[in-house]
């Protein structure tokens, strides 16, 4: 293979102008975004074309792709080589009739969304931040909120993948059905995604309102009404004082969908200024609130592109619970407040619709997600997670693939009925385990 195709990121080569997009990662030890995980290698190469990807895959016996490094656990880690598709960030085709957009796998939502909006289109939903890569987000079932909204991977209608042999495999929702459903939330185990096709819809405007101090008793008695009140609803709580600190309501400005913002919402009070989910932090980093109309991509995420999302120095965990257990599960966590609170920055509760994607935590079941943004103290958090997981076991909780959890494989096996099928699919696409790492061995293959 042409050696110039790939750029070895190392300090010795730092002078090369070609390195500039990736150099910031490699000037120090290569870590994930939060800095809680130093990857096991800093051998990071950049593939500029799908052919580069094929060549690299053929030449190496072990490798992983790095997206935007926003996972908190070792799902993306590699002890041999890393490949980055960061420079493959173009929109390849927009089909207004089919309502689809096809993109290169290195693109982030922050790059894609303004383009789509300009062309008169939108995605159905976004995560709390636009900074993440589309391929990484879909591979880990990243989600936003909204009881009628599936996770971000549910927008995928087609995929191009370089498998372990270097072969290009094309999968489509219409033609490949079950194989497609197995491959979309692929956890980086099936191969390297080079192209993704996403469903789009006509662009829409939104308004965001925040309410403060919703009593937990209101949540208990009116959970379904609260979740149904708008297109996307997020509940932030520190589990103190039996209240939800902030309710974020994101509403589409269309007849029948528009949220009528009253001064009081289930005993919570309409905020009089923009807020950060962690009330002590500046709202400058957050998307506009107070009902100011704006395009979908500037209201669906909580955090603005170009600004630090969340708190920065933090850890995250999240559990998906079947929707019908939502209130019981929330109160099970609330009972742990004295243990949880000292280590917590904020919790968020969201709703996600059911889907058909084998490894999605919402496979065939609508869910409520209970999320924890922790202070960056893994020794303490690692002791709390098993306690939370035990409390949530009766509800068959599934952890977020990209966040920190201690759930053993036996439990993942009992909650993911499609796990054996997924393992078989991995073996078909990657029979020698080229894309396997410790995370996958521990949680998927059980080796
Ligand atoms: C501040 C913050 C806020 C967050 N908010 C949310 C949220 O609102 N909702 C939510 O669900 N999650 C959220 N997350 C979690 C995060 O968005 C996901 O874990 C997502 O996977 C990050 O994408 P990434 O590209 O950074 O992934 P990475 O960590 O880079 O990679 C994740 C996995 O995807 C694989 N991958 C990446 N690119 C490819 C490719 N081209 N082909 C094959 N495999 C690939 C990697 O190998 C790895 O296995 C948040 C994270 C942070 C740091």
Average pLDDT over residues 15-28: 42
Q: 82-84 and 64-66: which strand pairing?
A: parallel
Please tell me which residue, 397 or 20, carries the higher pLDDT value: 397
Distance (Å, whole) CA 89 – CA 408: 36
pLDDT of residue 284: 93
Residue 231 confidence (pLDDT) above 90: yes
Instruction: Read off the pTM.
Output: 0.94
Ligand 1 centroid distance, CA of 438 (Å) = 17
Contacting residues for 164 by C-beta, under 8 A, at least 6 apart: 57, 191, 429, 430, 431, 432, 434, 435
Contacts of 358 (CB under 8 A, 6+ apart): 181, 182, 185, 416, 418, 421, 422
- Give me the pLDDT at residue 170, please: 98
Please answer whether residues 88 and 46 qualify as being in contact, where contact means their C-beta atoms are separated by less than 8 angstroms: no
CA of 241 to the centre of ligand 1 (A): 33
> Which of 107, 118, 70 minimizes the C-alpha distance to 85?
107
Please work out whether the CB of residue 350 comes within 6 Å of at least one atom of ligand 1.
no
175 has a pLDDT exceeding 60? yes
Q: Report, as an integer, the average pLDDT of 114-123.
A: 98
Question: Residue 3 and residue 18: Cα distance in Å, rounded?
Answer: 14
- Give the pLDDT confidence score for residue 310 in this predicted structure: 76
Q: Of the given ranges (80-84, 132-136, 257-261, 281-285), which has the lowest mean pLDDT?
A: 257-261
Position 18 pLDDT exceeds 60: no
Given a cut of 70, is residue 3 above it in pLDDT? no
Nearest to 26 by CA among 66, 60, 64: 66
4 or 340: whose pLDDT is higher? 340
Segment 403-413 shows an average pLDDT of 97
What is the rounded average pLDDT of the residues 19-45? 77
Is residue 310 lining ligand 1, measured as CB closer than 6 Å?
yes
What pLDDT, on the 0 to 100 scale, is given for residue 312? 78
For the chain, percent of residues with pLDDT exceeding 90: 90
Rounded to the nearest whole angstrom, what is the distance from the C-alpha of residue 243 to the centroid of ligand 1? 30
Could you tell me the two tokens for 19?
A: 């390195």
pLDDT of residue 374: 98
Q: Name the pLDDT band for 10 (thresholds 50, 70, 90).
A: very low
Q: pLDDT class for 27, splitting at 50, 70, 90?
A: low
| Whether residue 412 has its Cβ less than 6 Å from ligand 1 | no
CA of 263 to the centre of ligand 1 (A): 37
What percent of the chain has a predicted confidence (pLDDT) above 70?
A: 94
Would the CB of 285 count as within 6 Å of ligand 1? no
pLDDT at residue 77 is higher than 70: yes
- The burial class, CB within 10 Å (0-12 / 13-18 / 19+), for 169 is middle
- Is the separation of the CB atoms in 282 and 303 below 8 Å? no
Average pLDDT over residues 143-172: 98
* Closest atom, ligand 1, to C-alpha of 369: 11
Q: For ligand 1, is residue 130 a contact (CB within 6 Å)? A: no
pLDDT value at 28 more than 90:
no
74: CA distance to ligand 1 center in Å?
11
- The atom of ligand 1 lying closest to the CA of 191 is 43
Nearest CA to ligand 1 atom 37: 136
């Amino acid at each position: 293979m042409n050696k110039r195709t790939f750029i070895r990121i190392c300090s010795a080569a730092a002078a090369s102008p070609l390195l500039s997009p990736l150099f910031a990662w490699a000037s120090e030890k290569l870590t994930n975004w939060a800095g809680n995980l130093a990857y096991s290698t800093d051998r990071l190469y950049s593939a500029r074309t799908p052919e580069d990807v094929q060549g690299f895959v053929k030449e190496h016996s072990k490798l992983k792709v790095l997206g935007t490094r926003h996972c908190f656990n070792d799902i993306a880690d590699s002890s041999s080589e890393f490949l980055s598709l960061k420079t493959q960030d173009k929109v390849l085709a927009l089909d207004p009739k089919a309502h689809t957009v096809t993109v290169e796998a290195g693109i982030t939502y922050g790059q894609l969304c303004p383009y789509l909006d300009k062309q008169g289109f939108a995605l159905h939903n976004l995560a709390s931040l636009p900074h993440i890569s589309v391929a990484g987000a879909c591979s880990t079932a990243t989600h936003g909120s909204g009881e009628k909204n599936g996770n971000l991977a549910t927008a995928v209608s087609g995929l191009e993948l370089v498998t372990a042999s270097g072969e290009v495999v094309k999968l489509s929702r219409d033609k490949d059905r079950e194989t497609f459903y197995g491959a979309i939330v692929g956890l980086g185990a099936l191969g390297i995604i080079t192209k993704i096709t996403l469903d789009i819809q006509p662009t829409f405007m939104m308004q965001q309102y925040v309410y403060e101090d919703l009593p937990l008793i209101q949540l208990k008695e009116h959970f379904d009404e609260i979740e149904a009140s708008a297109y996307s609803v997020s509940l932030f709580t520190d589990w103190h004082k039996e209240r939800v600190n902030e309710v974020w309501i994101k509403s589409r400005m269309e007849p029948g969908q528009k949220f009528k913002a009253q001064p009081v919402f289930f005993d919570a009070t309409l905020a009089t200024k923009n807020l950060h989910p962690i009330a002590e932090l500046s709202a400058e980093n957050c998307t506009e609130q107070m009902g100011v109309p704006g395009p979908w991509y500037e209201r669906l995420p909580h955090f603005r592109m170009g600004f630090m999302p969340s708190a920065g120095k933090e850890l995250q965990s999240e559990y998906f619970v079947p929707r019908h257990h939502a209130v019981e599960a929330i109160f099970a966590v609330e009972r742990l407040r004295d243990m949880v609170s000292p280590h917590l920055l904020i919790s968020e509760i969201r709703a996600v619709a059911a889907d058909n994607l084998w490894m999605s935590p919402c496979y065939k079941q609508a869910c409520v997600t209970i999320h924890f943004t922790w202070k960056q103290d893994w020794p303490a958090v690692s002791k709390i997670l098993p306690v939370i997981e035990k409390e949530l076991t009766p509800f068959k909780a599934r952890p977020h693939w990209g966040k920190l959890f201690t759930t053993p494989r036996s439990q993942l096996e009992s909650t993911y009925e499609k796990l054996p099928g997924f393992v078989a699919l991995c073996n078909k696409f990657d029979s020698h385990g080229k894309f396997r790492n410790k995370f996958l061995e521990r949680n998927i293959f059980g080796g």
